[in-house]
Amino acid sequence: MLECVPEGKTEHTTGKINPAKTCQPIGAMYASLGIHGCLPHSHGSQGCCAYHRMHLTRHFRDQVLAASSSFTEGASVFGGASNLKTSIKNIFKIYNPDIIAVHTTCLSETIGDDIPNIIKQSEIPEGKIVIHTNTPSYVGSHITGFSNMCKSMVAYLAEAQGETKKEQVNVIPGFVNPGDMREIRRIVTALGVKLVMFPDTSGVLDAPLTSKYQMYPEGGTTIAEIRDSGNSEVTLALGAFASNAAADLLQEKCGVTGIPLKLPIGLKATDDFIMAVKDWFGADIPKEIAIERGQVIDTLIDTHFHYQGKTVAIFGDPDHVIAMTEFVITMGMVPKYVLTGTPGKEFEATVTKMLDEAGITGSRVKAEGDLFELHEWIREEKVDLMIGTTYGKYIARTEDIPLVRFGFPILDRAVHPLMPVVGYRGCLRLIEQISNAFLERRDRDALDEDFELVL
Amino acid sequence: MDGMDTTLEELYTQYPDTVKKNRKKHIVIKSEADVACPQIEANTRTIPGIISQRGCAYAGCKGVVVAPIKDMITITHGPVGCGYYSWGTRRNKARADSTTPKDKIYSQLCFTTDMQEPDIVFGGDKKLARMIDEIVAAFHPRGINICSTCPIGLIGDDIGAVAKAATERHGIQVLAYACEGYKGVSQSAGHHIANNTIMQNVIGKGNERKPGKHVINVLGEYNIGGDGWEQERILKDCGYTVNCVMTGDASYEDIKNLHLADLNLVQCHRSINYIAEMMETKYGTPWLKVNFVGVEATNESLRQMAKCFSDPELEKQTEEVIARETARIEPALEQFRKICRGKKAFAFVGGSRSHHYQHLLKDLGMEVVVAGYEFAHRDDYEGRQVIPTIKSDADSKNIPELHLKADEKLYREGNEYLNLSKEQFEALKKEVPLNYYEGMYPDMKNGDIMIDDCNHYELEELIKKLRPDLIFTGVRDKYIAEKMGIPAKQMHSYDYAGPYAGYNGAINFANDVAHTLTTPAWKMIVPPWERIEEPDTGKQEGANDA
Ligand code: SF4
Ligand code: SF4
């Protein structure tokens, strides 16, 4: 596999080798797909749009539609205003979406196109909407792009009608799969609280196959719902990196209280999420949820000897990695290397604090890292398990370490976008995957004389 | 014909007038009444706002041509995304061999300068140079490629100068490709840029001819799913020495020696015809457009090749291979034909494949009724004779044309390469289309549609109107078709299977197509409760009756 990777410490200070992040627009595109009747639009040359659609399609195995301003050299020199205006006109005529969500690329950002102005000068049919966000790829990562588009949804759409708030909760779910969003909706609904969740890609990127094709499937948050988010009492921002910006703006613009939480991945984070809803609304915890939690505890006790004390490398998007790190600590594992590609010092502070509180020493934590660096660490001192995206599989194979696929993207495994990792049900799925990774390993490695029915 | 005309007219109605006027020129109905292919518009700008399948020049340069060179490190100079998305996507397989040891294969790594805001403001030349230094120190590659992305062109980083300085500093070749995404109108521009740079800087640098009587190169074969390896197997069996499959599993070392072969085979016409042509000008090397996708097509290509060398032993061995391989796979193919026969398909893939796969489908008794390319030029549809009549527009003028001359030392006449007399060579050209490609049109049937840069709307409408049994396309369109109840196969990466080329490929392909058509779930789309209430919706039940 990676025989070319040099042994020992190398000088690697410039650029990325095997990046653990990608660029902003793909995050913005994903968020836009979570609005019902929305066609995302990429303002730049068509290559970016083609790449982003392809990559999302490979992760979700479902259609990802988005248009592009299709710049050629001329537009790159003279500006993309006329391309964007033509795009908007053509899109409404041919594809008839309710709303177009424009994001920029590093090309249109470098030129400095003034998007809000161009939108103002565009022909927009009665009742239709165009929103935009800036997503320069030389800042942040795909998570920043997701965050920026969520913030734009608030900026363009959310409205507070008067002072009195409705007894409803906004949930900004973060860059998670449609299966996760569906599960978050189920949990809040089970608690008997009315919910506005945006974006919501369930029903869009996990739409059923009925042979009756819909360009805009039934799922997604409606524009009316996002408008109404300004009237909610409280916003739960799940994952600081992806969701805080939108929640902060909702607070500022519409006076909706924002509560920052972790992604509800793992026992504690799910507890916190449910308690936040309970505390604010005085909701009763229904029996079904209590049972699910009890099942997680039962499973943790049943399985602890498979994974307790094992060392693990966790990598991927910051909100995912933070929540997962907390969960594996709960499971008694040792997060040895914790790495995200997205820049942000808060990441290192948050993870280091969790490790300190758990009394774990000797771990390495890094934001804005890459997988080459992670590989170097692993070569210095091996771990028992890797948890992260598909791109970790090269290291996993070279160093012969099991890999539990988690986060975005997972390109080489099926069905995962529909299966939640959030909530108590998500805990069960993660425990299953982690336990079984170790068990499969034992089955594979056991000597003939040690091989038994149950190892 | 008339039916098809009406179908297309209906399809255009939703378009704004300007869009309609534009798109009409990209769509041609095959008519046997026409002597030649009517002019089709291709390689012109995509209309803003249209959901096209096209990528950009960077994708064509780095993604298609440059990245598969296994023993070079390719650095994407730009923000993180472009390098990241083109990492491991095209399934270009590579392995160690006599020229390339394991620790000199870099295909599974992704290098990007990951430009940050200050780099964009103050320029990224220094960052790039520093990254090259670090990489050389750590990996000791034989050569480095630098591919630039959109913002790099705008901020004016001089990657050529960085490459030149690095070449001098490190004593290895560092090549610069100014393949910013906005160049040209599609991937096509990037193919051309890559071809130019490799032609100017790599080909001709070596002087080691591989041993063997008939030494050949396979150009424009990217070894997706191992296609190139299957071709190599067949070619070796026939008695050829394969000098280099380019750029699938190609090594920098082998590309240096490209000019030391007797014949260039061109598999993907669009992405590599420039090198074939430039080598013909500079070295005199003749080239032959081949197609190893499809049993009959493979046989035909092998026979044409054998004729080129007029070597009875070679012809004999070729016929033996054809007989042996055909006999081996025919019974299995016949089983698959029972499932595939009579089925109608659409094909939208890359730069030659929409044509190539028609042959393999024909072998299975299927026919393609609508076909098109994302980024082809007119000659890919109409044949190379139209090249002189293609008007160069502002977008294509940005890509430099190399005007090469015959190499003083190395140029030889085409006939000398093939060990033929001038007269024999002229006679051969009448029999075998040396240095020529006839395009896709001749292989389409009366009433079939050729469509350039087919977009989402057109695909959706054509599916609704023509209800094909199967669609061959890229990953972006695959799931759209399937949601409509039409089975689809992803042909850029073969749904991660392969090889599909050659004889073994034909079997793999037939098996996968048969499975795609007969997946039991297609018959179960309508839920039982709906079937009971409306018994006559039975027609909807299966997307096909296989
Ligand atoms: S990094 Fe920039 S040019 Fe590259 S794909 Fe992302 S937005 Fe496009
Ligand atoms: S066949 Fe098409 S997709 Fe493949 S390399 Fe050629 S141009 Fe590209």
In terms of domains, do A185 and A319 share one?
A: no
**ipTM of the assembly?**
0.96
Does the residue A14 lie in any domain? no
Does the residue B67 lie in any domain? yes
Query: Residue B536 has what pLDDT?
Result: 56
pLDDT range class, residue B516, cuts 50, 70, 90: very high
Which chain A residue has its CA at the smallest distance from B463's CA?
A213
Domain encompassing residue A81 = 24-139
In terms of domains, do A46 and A94 share one?
A: yes
CATH number of residue B146's parent domain? 3.40.50.1980
In terms of domains, do A77 and A112 share one?
A: yes
Question: Looking at beta carbons, which residues of chain B come within 8 Å of A63?
Answer: 476, 479-480, 483
pLDDT range class, residue B33, cuts 50, 70, 90: confident
Query: Residue B535 has what pLDDT?
Result: 54
User: How far is the CA of A266 from the CAs of A272, A300, A406, A424, A430, in angstroms?
Assistant: 10, 11, 13, 7, 8
Which chain B residue has its CA at the smallest distance from A54's CA?
B476
Does the residue B109 lie in any domain? yes
Does the residue A155 lie in any domain? no
For residue B352, which atom of ligand 2 is closest to its CA?
1
- B542 CA to centre of own chain: 33
Beta-carbon separation of B56 and A46 below 8 A: yes
Which amino acid is residue A182, in one-letter code? Answer: R
In terms of domains, do A256 and A333 share one?
A: no
In terms of domains, do A38 and A133 share one?
A: yes
Question: Among this protein's residues, is B238 annotated catalytic?
Answer: no
The low-confidence residues of chain A, meaning pLDDT below 70, are: none
B499 Cα to the center of ligand 2, angstroms: 15
Condensed to tens digits (0 to 9), the pLDDT of residues B122-150 reads 999 999 999 999 999 999 999 999 999 99
Residues 36-75 of chain A whose Cβ lies under 8 A from any Cβ of chain B: 41, 44-48, 50-55, 57-58, 61-75
Round to whole Å and give the CA distance between A209 and B241: 50
pLDDT range class, residue B533, cuts 50, 70, 90: low
Does the residue A276 lie in any domain? yes
Beta-carbon separation of B59 and A137 below 8 A: no
Round to whole Å and give the CA distance between B476 and A434: 32
pLDDT range class, residue B18, cuts 50, 70, 90: very high
Q: In this structure, what are the phi and psi dihedrals at residue B154, rounded to the nearest 5 degrees? A: -70, -40
Q: Is A444 exposed, middle or buried (0-12, 13-18, 19+ CB in 10 A)?
A: exposed
User: B378 CB less than 6 Å from ligand 2?
Assistant: no
Mutate to test the interface with A, among B114, B398, B537 (most CBs of A within 10 A): B114
Which amino acid is residue B354, in one-letter code? Answer: S
* Count of beta carbons in the 10 Å neighbourhood of residue B537: 11
b/e burial code for range B89-104 (CB count within 10 A of at least 16 → b): bbbbbbeeeebbeeeb
Does the residue B161 lie in any domain? yes
Does the residue B450 lie in any domain? no
What would the mean pLDDT of B51-68 be, rounded to a whole number?
A: 96
Domain encompassing residue B143 = 57-181
Condensed to tens digits (0 to 9), the pLDDT of residues B446-500 reads 999 999 999 999 999 999 999 999 999 999 999 999 999 999 999 989 999 999 9
Beta-carbon separation of B75 and A211 below 8 A: no
Query: Residue B541 has what pLDDT?
Result: 46
Please report where in the chains the tokens 């070279």 appear, as a residue.
A398
Query: Residue A222 has what pLDDT?
Result: 98
Does the residue B132 lie in any domain? yes
Listing from the earlier edge strand, what are the strands of the sheet with A166-172? A194-197, A166-172, A232-238, A257-261
Round to whole Å and give the CA distance between B76 and B152: 10
Question: Which of A86-90, B339-343, B384-388, B395-399 is least confident?
Answer: B395-399
Query: Residue A7 has what pLDDT?
Result: 87
Query: Residue A261 has what pLDDT?
Result: 98
> Does residue B538 surpass a pLDDT of 60?
no
Chain A nearest CA to B112, separation (Å): 5
For residue B375, which atom of ligand 2 is closest to its CA?
7
Q: In this structure, what are the phi and psi dihedrals at residue A212, rounded to the nearest 5 degrees? A: -100, 100
In terms of domains, do A297 and A344 share one?
A: yes
Does the residue B145 lie in any domain? yes
Question: Among this protein's residues, is B209 annotated catalytic?
Answer: no
Domain termination residue (choose one: A285, A316, A345): A285
Instruction: Count Cα atoms within 13 angstroms, Cβ side, for A81.
Output: 11
Domain termination residue (choose one: A259, A285, A311): A285
Does the residue A153 lie in any domain? no
CATH number of residue A55's parent domain? 3.40.50.1980
Q: Is A392 exposed, middle or buried (0-12, 13-18, 19+ CB in 10 A)?
A: buried
**Total count of domains within chain B:** 1
Does the residue B506 lie in any domain? no
Nearest to B79 among A23, A58, A61 (CB): A23
Query: Residue B393 has what pLDDT?
Result: 87
Closest C-alpha residue for ligand 1 atom 7: A105
For residue B269, which atom of ligand 2 is closest to its CA?
6
Query: Residue B397 has what pLDDT?
Result: 83
What would the mean pLDDT of B302-322 be, rounded to a whole number?
A: 96
Condensed to tens digits (0 to 9), the pLDDT of residues B270-287 reads 999 999 999 999 999 999
> Does residue B1 surpass a pLDDT of 60?
no
Q: Supply the pTM of this predicted model.
A: 0.96
> Does residue B545 surpass a pLDDT of 50?
no
In terms of domains, do A225 and A257 share one?
A: yes
Nearest to A60 by CA among A352, A318, A360, A419: A419
Query: Residue B543 has what pLDDT?
Result: 45
User: B268 CB less than 6 Å from ligand 2?
Assistant: yes
Tell me the Ramachandran region of residue A46: left when phi exceeds 0, alpha when psi lies from -120 to 50, beta otherwise: alpha
Condensed to tens digits (0 to 9), the pLDDT of residues B220-232 reads 999 999 999 999 9
Decide: B92 and B107 in contact? Cβ < 8 Å: yes
Does the residue B119 lie in any domain? yes
Q: In this structure, what are the phi and psi dihedrals at residue B220, rounded to the nearest 5 degrees? A: 70, 35
Share of chain B above pLDDT 70, in %: 97
Does the residue A13 lie in any domain? no
Question: Among this protein's residues, is B323 annotated catalytic?
Answer: no
**Total count of domains within chain A:** 3
Domain termination residue (choose one: A269, A285, A301): A285
